[in-house]
Amino acid sequence: MRIMVIEDDATTGDYIAQGLREEGHTVDLIANGRDGLIQATTTDYEVLVIDRMLPELDGVSIVRTLRAARNLTPVIFLTSLGGVDDRIDGLKAGADDYLIKPFAFGELSARVAALSRRPQLKEQESLLKAGDLTMDLMRRKVVRNDLEIDLLPREFALLEHLLRRKGRVQTRTMLLEAVWDISFDPQTNVVETHISRLRAKVDKPFEIELIKTVRGSGYRIEE
Amino acid sequence: MTPLRDKFDALLRSTPLRLSIALVALFALVSLTSLGASFLIIRDSLDQTMRIDLQQDLAGFQAAPSANAVAQLITAEAAMTNPERRILSFTTADGRHFGNGFISPAGNGFRVMSLPEEEDLSEADYLTLSASLHDGRLTVSSSRAQIEDLGELFINILVLSLLPTTAIALAAGLVISRRSGRRIEAIGQTLEQLTQGNLAARVPKIAGRSDDLSMIAGQIDRMAGAQQSSVDALKQVSADIAHDLKTPIQRVSVLLSKAREMPALRADLVDVLDKAGQETDGIVATFQSLLQIAQIEGGSPKNRFKPVDLRALAATFAEVYEPAADERGHKLIADLPKEGTYVVSGEKGLLGQVLANLMENALRHTPAGSDITLSVGRSGEWIEVSVCDTGPGIPAEERRNVLRRLYRLEQSRTTPGNGLGLSLVAAIVEMHEGKLALEDNNPGLCVKIRFQSAETR
């Protein structure tokens, strides 16, 4: 996947670019806003990672200009400003996601993956599968190895979210946003406890573990 | 209190109306004094004239040579005299009576007396002058009706002269107070908005006016302008600091991650790096909270508020925290209404932050086995959210302190946290014009928050 990172701080920029390259992406790192905008309009990227405060042209102006020119490439803002207003302003300008500095690389990587391959929600698809587990969306049933698993509604939603994004890491904050529609950074292990309850029903009675923990990032169901 | 009563009270408080009422009172006093003095002078002079007239009358009769002559004179004159104005009365030594009425005061000289009831002539008093004459008694009397009417006349004059003055002064007072009242109200509203954090508020200008009120309005506007620019400067500085400090912190955390991923690290070094990473996260969290509190207190614009159903939000957070509470051996009780809307106007993310902070505080600062109750209820136009626990609680004298930034109780020095959770809660509640109270749960702590219901705002 081709990604452009516009970040004026060399240490952070190098770290992001290197991390994304190690994951197999092609990364262009640009250090100022104006060059970034020119590059974004002349090259076809799949995701843009843009710092909000940049020399010469700030992040919000870049995104506004791109959107005005009908360039709909997904954008993740990186910002030092973490206020509610800043978040809303950023999303209003046309950014697709918003990360507050400093962030764990796993969070960025998971969000880049989520944006680049936005889930194609096929309405007619009513069966989700992973290994020997099948989720029947119509009948709200989960069967693994011919055994029916009884899930609470929110456990069902959590599993459905992970199944639909099979093979991709979902971070704790992404799960809170998607399953509970709340965005905050919990200081306690709230998401872990939900996952461990889900695992107790979905994984524990069976030999193979479906829900994997990705260290420093989040959770993933293997393809 | 009724709105009408409020309006009336507000009117009474207005300076111009008070001034005009005071002026009316002064006018009334002055008129009363001057008219009263005139009344006394005129009354005395009338009385004096009356006495001289009576003395002359008496002297005329005294000139008669005998009692018979007096009787004849009296009879003749009495026939032409209206007893309502003047009564002549002569009683001879042998008891015969002449005249147009009978008044016989004891003793000689002037007297003021009223007629006996049966002499149904006049209600007014009479001034009488009696003298002995030819062994009989002669009394000439004159009605004091004129003097008594004088009082009434003066009261009429007083009323007639005061009424228009009073009416004009009061009307002028009302008009001026209503006009300045509107402008004072505008100034008051502007100050209220400024207090609430809308530093862009200005007093509406009235063209072509340059009186004291306009001057005050101008001064308020200048003050607000100065305040606004200093707050803007402060915000800019905060944003700059945020950027300048967060970037190096980001670098530190990047370098730590890099070090952590190096191959063949010694196990104890891995521990050190993990701890350094956690400390960095702590710095970031503290920094983030401080910035957020500053930003919220800096008067964040409220026009982005949307309706938020606190019942639904509380239900979500109860669900999110339930397994975590369970894992620590706490019982989380969600005491939420089954139905109905509990909608307030606010920022969902921030209100969620309030619930999250309160739940995490309760989880962190209470021992295993404590109950934590999250409840939502309504009292009048207020919607109340509370998080109560059965833990050790906070001593009454410490409850104010825990709202201060970075303050930590002695008993919780060892538990994780930065002492900013409740300060952030307080700032968010304040921003939503809500009320925050820390109460004793006997045992434990009850944090109660009230917000005005969106329907009644």
How many Å apart are CA B451 and CA B429, to the nearest integer?
8
CB atoms near residue A87 (< 10 Å): 18
- Give yes or no for a cis peptide into A102 (omega within 30° of 0): yes
Contact B393, B440 (CB under 8 A): yes
Residue B319 confidence class, pLDDT cut points 50, 70, 90:
very high
The nearest alpha carbon in chain A to B353 belongs to: A184
**What ipTM is given for this predicted complex?**
0.79
The mean-pLDDT minimum among A125-134, A165-174, B185-194, B232-241 falls in B232-241
A85–B300 CB contact, under 8 Å: yes
Res. A211: pLDDT tops 90: yes
Please state the separation of Cα B118 from the chain's center in Å. 64
Helix count and strand count (H, E) for chain A: 8, 12
β-strand pairing of A2-6 with A147-149:
unpaired
Find chain B residues with C-beta within 8 A of A200's C-beta: none
Over residues A16-75, the pLDDT tens digits come to 998 899 888 999 999 999 999 999 998 889 999 999 888 889 899 999 999 999 888 999
Q: How far is A73 from chain B (nearest CA, A)?
A: 26
A104–B251 CB contact, under 8 Å: no
Over residues B96-127, the pLDDT tens digits come to 888 888 777 777 888 888 776 666 666 778 88
Query: Phi, psi at residue B342, to the nearest 5°?
Result: -125, 65
Residues of A numbered 47-76 whose beta carbons fall under 8 angstroms of chain B's beta carbons: which are they? 53
Q: What is the pLDDT of residue A212?
A: 93
How many Å apart are CA B169 and CA B177, to the nearest integer?
12
Q: Does A106 touch chain B (CB under 8 A)?
A: no
Measure the CA angle with vertex A66, ends A63 and A71; round to 5°.
125
Find chain A residues with C-beta within 8 A of B323's C-beta: 190, 193-194, 196-197
Q: Mean of the pLDDT values across residues A157-174? A: 90
Measured CA distances, B98 to B63, B101, B444 (Å):
17, 8, 109
The nearest alpha carbon in chain A to B327 belongs to: A193
Please state the separation of Cα A223 from the chain's center in Å. 17
Q: Does A157 touch chain B (CB under 8 A)?
A: no
Tell me B394's DSSP state: -
Over residues B261-283, the pLDDT tens digits come to 888 888 899 899 989 988 888 88
Percent of chain B with pLDDT over 90: 20
β-strand pairing of B331-335 with A141-144:
unpaired
The nearest alpha carbon in chain A to B418 belongs to: A187
The more confident residue out of B236 and B166 is B166
Q: Which residues of B264-281 are buried (b: 16+ CB within 10 A; e: fewer)?
A: eeeeeeeeebeebbeebe
Burial of A112 (0-12, 13-18, 19+ CB in 10 A): buried
Tokens of B196: 């609430």
CA atoms within 13 A on the CB side of B254: 20
How many Å apart are CA A131 and CA A136, to the nearest integer?
14
Q: What is the DSSP string of A171-223?
A: EHHHHIIIII------SS-HHHHHHHHHHHHHTTTSSS--EEEETTTEEEE--
Q: Mean of the pLDDT values across residues B186-197? A: 86
B323–A196 CB contact, under 8 Å: yes
A83–B316 CB contact, under 8 Å: no
Find chain A residues with C-beta within 8 A of B291's C-beta: 81-83
For chain B, the farthest-separated pair of C-alpha atoms sits apart, in whole angstroms, at 160
Find chain A residues with C-beta within 8 A of B317's C-beta: 182
Q: What is the pLDDT of residue A219?
A: 93
Res. A120: pLDDT tops 60: no
Nearest of B131, B127, B129 to residue B112 by alpha carbon: B127
Tokens of B23: 């002026």
How many Å apart are CA A218 and CA A176, to the nearest integer?
12
Token match 């920029």: residue? Answer: A13
pTM above 0.80, yes or no: no
Nearest of A214, A208, A182, A181 to residue A195 by alpha carbon: A214
A105–B284 CB contact, under 8 Å: no
Q: How far is A101 from chain B (nearest CA, A)?
A: 6
Percent of chain B with pLDDT over 70: 91
Among candidates A102, A184, A197 on the partner chain, residue whose Cβ is nearest the Cβ of B246: A102
